[in-house]
């Protein structure tokens, strides 16, 4: 359930959780559910620049016209942010990735107020990486 539907589900869950202490716990739980990348998959070509923590994103081969990524980080909250980004973007077409309003999603989730500037910049770098991957396919 990519894009807007995934965003609506995440917003609903965040609203139910209430305060940011509970939301952070949930974000960490989302990150714990991610499958770890292998050591071989963690290399400079998969590393996302612009993140204070180490972040790796790998695009799997497109299937049925949709894109899918896997990701990992050395920081618990950042790993959870990766899980959120992947929930929003996995299963979208390259054009949908290009057109998805990431800043609007971040605002709806309340992340723009809750994240430090370093984490917000890292989140923006992750989204930029996904968009760059999608743009390679659109060309």
Over residues 77-127, the pLDDT tens digits come to 999 999 999 999 999 999 999 999 999 999 999 998 898 889 999 999 999
Residue 1 pLDDT > 70, yes or no?
A: no
User: Active site includes 57?
Assistant: no
- What sign has the CA pseudo-torsion 57, 31, 126, 16? positive
- Separation between Cα atoms, residue 100 and residue 59, nearest integer Å: 17
Residue 128 pLDDT > 70, yes or no?
A: yes
**φ and ψ at 83, to 5 degrees?**
-60, -40
User: Catalytic residue among 6, 30, 51, 134, which?
Assistant: 51
Among 75, 86, 67, which residue's Cα sits nearest to residue 7?
86
């Amino acid at each position: 359930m990519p894009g807007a539907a995934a965003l609506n589900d995440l917003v609903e869950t965040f609203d139910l959780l209430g305060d940011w202490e509970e939301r952070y716990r949930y974000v960490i739980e989302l990150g714990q559910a991610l499958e770890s990348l292998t050591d071989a998959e963690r290399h400079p070509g998969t590393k996302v620049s612009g993140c204070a923590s180490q972040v790796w994103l790998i695009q799997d081969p497109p299937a049925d016209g949709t894109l899918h990524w896997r990701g990992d980080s050395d920081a618990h909250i950042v790993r959870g942010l990766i899980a959120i980004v992947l929930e929003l973007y996995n299963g979208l077409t390259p054009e949908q990735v290009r057109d998805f309003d990431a800043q609007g999603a971040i605002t709806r989730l309340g992340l723009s107020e809750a994240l430090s500037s370093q984490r917000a910049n890292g989140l923006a770098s992750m989204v930029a990486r996904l968009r760059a991957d999608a743009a390679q396919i659109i060309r």
